[in-house]
Amino acid sequence: MAIILCYGDSLTWGAIPGGGRYQKNHRWPELLNKRLGEEHDVINSGLPSRTTIWDDPFNDGRNGLKYIQSMIETFAPVNLVILMLGTNDIKSYINASAYDAARGIEKLITKIREPSRHGFPNPEIIVVAPPNIIAPKGEAAEMFPNAVEKMQKFHQEYQKVATRQRCEFLNAAGVITPSDIDGVHLEQAANETLARVLEPLVNKILYS
């Protein structure tokens, strides 16, 4: 059995545009598990408002760097980590750039590759540049000023990190877009597409 840890934010958690959470069978990690088959265990470790490396002054426990190692140890031995973080890094009160978010991803990769105290091999890693925010609406418009411009550079910066760190890379903005409802979160169809696109990458890593 291969254990795959999906470490992300509300896009991984399964936030419904406009509020709420999708049922398990409509979230991309669970859809990926269905595509891969029962011999795999795809773990949804998504958390709304999670950042790469920054503390959120309004939401406790959202610094992704502080919790990635404990997640890997909890579900050990993990064969593969799928990282899709960075959207929350550009919130107005954190105000990171695409370059900053990519550097945050690089720190997460370094943490994931620290030696296991239990002697398990390091997981393989897929770096996913999150989909671009498009015309955020409502509360999202207040939280994500200048997000549309900033996220245009995400895939270039993330790909540089993935190449440097010898990780697989997926530019989610090339295959999915957020919902028109809030400009940030994913419709069910986008969850299905992301699972479908990730499937061959996961198989390539695990079985090539």
The pTM of this model reads: 0.97
The reported pLDDT for the residue numbered 138 is 87
Report d(CA 184, CA 182) in Å as an integer.
Answer: 6
The reported pLDDT for the residue numbered 1 is 84
The reported pLDDT for the residue numbered 135 is 87
- List pLDDT tens digits, range 190-208: 999 999 999 999 999 999 8
Average pLDDT rounded to a whole number, residues 163-184: 97
The reported pLDDT for the residue numbered 36 is 97
- List pLDDT tens digits, range 69-80: 999 999 999 999
Average pLDDT rounded to a whole number, residues 127-145: 92
Average pLDDT rounded to a whole number, residues 9-20: 97
Residue 32 binned pLDDT confidence (cut-offs 50, 70, 90) = very high
For the chain, give the mean pLDDT: 96
Residue 29 reports pLDDT greater than 90: yes
Residue 146 binned pLDDT confidence (cut-offs 50, 70, 90) = confident
Average pLDDT rounded to a whole number, residues 174-180: 96
The fold of the 2-207 domain, in CATH, is Rossmann fold (3.40.50)
